[in-house]
Amino acid sequence: MDQFQTKKKGNSYGRRLRDCHAEILAKRAFRYQLLKDIILHLQQQKQPHTTSPTSSSSSYRSILRPSSSTTSYKFPQYELIPGITLHYYTSSTPCGNATLKKFAKMEKQSYDATLDYDTWPSWKRHEMIAGHSLHLGQFSLLLKKSEEQQQCTPVTKSKYYLPPGTALPTTTTTSSIHSCSDKLCLYNVVGLQGSLLSSLSSSTPMYMSTLTVGRKFTECICRRAICCRVSGDEVEEEEKEEEGKSLKEGGQQQQKKRKRKKKGGYLVDLNKNGERRYHGVNHPTLMGTAVYLDETGVCTYLFHWRSR
């Protein structure tokens, strides 16, 4: 369910339903679970001799615990319980870049019958993708279009091929919702916990371990779309250091810039604890399945956490 921007004037803030794709609802439900665990833990700290009705239920199981490294933080910190992993399922390939069946050599998908029902092929590493067709939109970001604009973009009108229902950020003013591929790619950089919970979680983002796709799954294309088009091998940060010596003219302190290279991530921002948070690129295990869970009434997108 989406609500796109229209040409009607007026303030619709707080009265407009926007960006309610299934994967967004699943992410919000996951964050609700995290907030629920944190609130229950804080309530039990205030009243240690009482037990919350929700937490005492046999069907409820917390997935968070207080972090062991919380001495230098202004706010309480939490982390996933060891053994808890996050798994993402989608009944069809994510819209956007994952539907561009181009710029890659197709390979036959393999099936490993030696795996148990609760294990996944974590041995397969993602190979680096050469950006040989960047000018043709190989790694491009795509926006969702409204229902009235679901046709393909002809090659006579644009040098880029765009899947149905998508548009380039520079060619449309009626949509600001990114495609599902772009959202999943973002989650594999900053984590699933979101900006609000990042100040209450440990320094390690909460990443998905696997992504399972039902229909129209192509491993090399999906791998490019959700993680491998982002390069996180090296980042340069410019730092300013004030020297103790003052200049004769004006009495201003001299500043010099020093570049420092940090392996494996991006400098996203400063959290509420005043820390620099570096995030790498998560490369989840990608799997396809012929079992379509949505045919039996199960949500199209869902999270599943499991203890090994």
**What is the distance between the alpha carbons of residues 54 and 77, in angstroms, rounded to a whole number?**
22
Three-state DSSP class for 227? helix
pLDDT digits (tens, 9 = 90+) for 102-124: 787 777 777 777 877 778 877 66
83's CB contacts (< 8 A; 6+ apart) are 307, 308
Answer with the residue of higher pLDDT: 298 or 20.
Answer: 20
pLDDT digits (tens, 9 = 90+) for 121-160: 776 677 777 777 777 777 777 777 665 554 555 444 455 5
**CB 136 within 8 Å of CB 159:** yes
286's CB contacts (< 8 A; 6+ apart) are 210, 211, 213, 219, 222, 223, 226
pLDDT digits (tens, 9 = 90+) for 57-69: 456 678 888 887 6
So where are the chain's domains?
22-112+133-142+178-232+261-307
Chain mean pLDDT for the chain: 69
> In the chain, at which residue ranges do the beta strands (DSSP E only) sit?
64-66, 78-80, 84-92, 143-144, 166-167, 210-215, 234-246, 253-263, 266-270, 276-279, 285-288, 301-307
pLDDT digits (tens, 9 = 90+) for 187-242: 998 889 888 888 787 767 899 999 988 888 888 888 888 988 886 444 444 433 33
pLDDT at 5 over 50: no
pLDDT digits (tens, 9 = 90+) for 37-48: 988 888 887 776
Confidence of residue 90 (pLDDT cuts 50, 70, 90): confident
**What is the distance between the alpha carbons of residues 300 and 274, in angstroms, rounded to a whole number?**
38
**What is the distance between the alpha carbons of residues 167 and 96, in angstroms, rounded to a whole number?**
9
- 286: which strand partners? 211
Q: What is the pLDDT of residue 129?
A: 78
Q: What is the pLDDT of residue 184?
A: 92
pLDDT at 10 over 60: no
Answer with the residue of higher pLDDT: 113 or 8.
Answer: 113
